[in-house]
Amino acid sequence: MFEYALSLFPFGGLPWILAGYSQSGYGPVLQIADVTGIYGVSFLILASGTALVWLVCSRGSRKAAWAPVLAAVLLTGGALAYGRRSLEKWNAVPAAFRVAMLQGNISADDPESAVAAMFRTGYVRMADTLQPGEADLLVLPESPSPASFEVDDAYRRTFEALSGRYAFGLIYNGIRYEETPQGSEYFNSAVFLGRGGAPTAVYDKIHLVPFGEYIPLARILSFAETITRDAGHFSPGRDIRVADLGGHPANAVICFEAVFPDLVRRFVRKGSRLIVNLTNDAWYGDSAAPYQHLAIARVRAVENRRYLLRATNSGISAIVEPSGRIQTATGLFREDVCRGSFGFVEAQTFYTRYGDVFVFLCAIIAFACWLMAECRRAAFRKRQLPEG
């Protein structure tokens, strides 16, 4: 329940280092996430650890001390059995289409001319390394953008020409603006360009990064702008948008939106059969964070049983299969092309349909146990009171 609270508070939450993510590389345990979400995996780990600590502290002197250990063994055994059966099923999902994701490795410290060159000629040069028919879809990552698709003709023509090479077109990230009665609003957006070069769908990022893309409680925390010089003034998107990708429903989530299980689930619940994650992990530098971010994204694929295409500016770009297995991945801080295959999955998991039922069930059980304990304590105190 504490981990669930991290997905809500403060400032929209940041459920980054949850216990369950430690199992992202161990497939059999991870598979229960399609029922319980990541919180069920965390529960299994913490319940097993707690049972062992309880046994050690009790020194095995009471038979009751072994009950939690037995329960943990049964839960773990059940999870492993379920996981092995699930891996047999989900490792066999067809991948009939091909994707290429361009990892430009643009640095925030690069001069504007170098950034503009990558967008106008660099991505074209990288796409030219692909053989004709090698990819059905081209994906560009979230990265510093030098211009606007709406107003820069050269920039727009470049992307329109690129999208025309691929059956499913092109997905890219950019800054979109919109005029409103209150003034201009800016959005961090994922744009789906069809093969004809016209946008078929635009998704505006809903969950913005606090102190990065906006200042929360701006009137109260206005001083933060003087501390966080790079803080943007983006507006959050309003819609869970599912795009048409060559006749198949798909969606994009931008950057750290992938760490929010319920947000990703809502796209799939609405009909998406493919998850595309556009992100820029260059901000993390040479640290553990890019690896952690990939581990988190892997769980979203398992929870919803979808292929997840992760296009990253600086790495790690990867194709994650519905079982959570990494089909292919790039390295960090290098210009590269991530190639691989993917498919569209129609079936919806228990977690996709019903969300965090497991968490609420745990909360109800915990409250009931607390209430029973309080009733017993009250009854005991009453018995201790002298008569009369």
How many whole angstroms separate alpha carbon 72 and alpha carbon 29? 13
- Strands 183-193, 199-204: parallel, antiparallel or unpaired by DSSP? antiparallel
Token pair belonging to 213: 């893309």
Is residue 305 domain-shared with residue 383, that is, in the same domain? no
| 333-355 confidence digits (pLDDT tens) | 999 999 999 999 999 999 999 99
Is residue 237 domain-shared with residue 256, that is, in the same domain? yes
Q: Is residue 175 part of a domain?
A: yes
Is residue 161 domain-shared with residue 262, that is, in the same domain? yes
Is residue 86 domain-shared with residue 103, that is, in the same domain? no
Instruction: List the pLDDT tens digit at each of the 388 positions of the chain.
Output: 778 888 887 778 888 889 999 999 898 999 999 999 999 999 999 999 998 888 888 875 667 778 888 999 999 999 999 999 999 999 989 999 999 999 999 887 888 888 888 888 899 999 999 998 899 999 999 988 777 777 778 888 889 999 999 999 999 998 888 887 777 888 999 999 999 888 999 999 999 988 777 777 655 555 555 444 455 688 899 999 999 999 999 999 999 999 999 999 999 999 999 999 999 998 888 899 999 999 999 999 999 999 999 999 998 999 999 999 999 999 999 999 999 999 999 999 999 999 999 999 999 998 998 999 889 888 878 887 666 5
In this structure, are residues 214 and 232 in contact, taking their beta carbons and an 8 Å threshold?
yes
Is residue 9 domain-shared with residue 81, that is, in the same domain? yes
Is residue 141 domain-shared with residue 63, that is, in the same domain? no
Side chain identity at 361, as an amino acid letter? L
When computed from its CA atoms, the radius of gyration of the chain, rounded to whole angstroms, is 24
In this structure, are residues 175 and 189 in contact, taking their beta carbons and an 8 Å threshold?
yes
How many whole angstroms separate alpha carbon 211 and alpha carbon 376? 48
Is residue 84 domain-shared with residue 135, that is, in the same domain? no
Single pTM value for the model: 0.92
Question: 72 Cβ partners below 8 Å, 6+ apart?
Answer: 47, 48, 51, 52
DSSP string covering 55-94:
HHHHTT-SGGGGHHHHHHHHHHHHHHHHHHHHHHHHTT--
| 246-256 confidence digits (pLDDT tens) | 999 999 999 99
Q: Is residue 356 part of a domain?
A: no
CB-CB neighbours of 370 under 10 Å: 10
Q: Is residue 72 part of a domain?
A: yes
Is residue 340 domain-shared with residue 198, that is, in the same domain? yes
- Strands 170-180, 137-139: parallel, antiparallel or unpaired by DSSP? parallel
Element (H, E) at 268: helix 261-269
Is residue 198 domain-shared with residue 52, that is, in the same domain? no
Is residue 126 domain-shared with residue 23, that is, in the same domain? no
Strands of 97-103's sheet in order across: 199-204, 183-193, 170-180, 137-139, 97-103, 336-342
Q: How many structural domains is the chain composed of? A: 3
How many whole angstroms separate alpha carbon 305 and alpha carbon 17? 22
Which of the 8 DSSP states describes residue 198? S
Is residue 171 domain-shared with residue 68, that is, in the same domain? no
Output the domain CATH number for residue 172: 3.60.110.10
Q: Is residue 259 part of a domain?
A: yes
Q: Is residue 321 part of a domain?
A: yes
DSSP string covering 238-258:
-----EEETTEEEEEEEGGGG
Catalytic residues, by residue number, are 142, 205, 255
How many whole angstroms separate alpha carbon 142 and alpha carbon 121? 17
In this structure, are residues 93 and 301 in contact, taking their beta carbons and an 8 Å threshold?
no
Range of the domain at 375: 361-388
Is residue 142 domain-shared with residue 84, that is, in the same domain? no
In this structure, are residues 264 and 304 in contact, taking their beta carbons and an 8 Å threshold?
yes
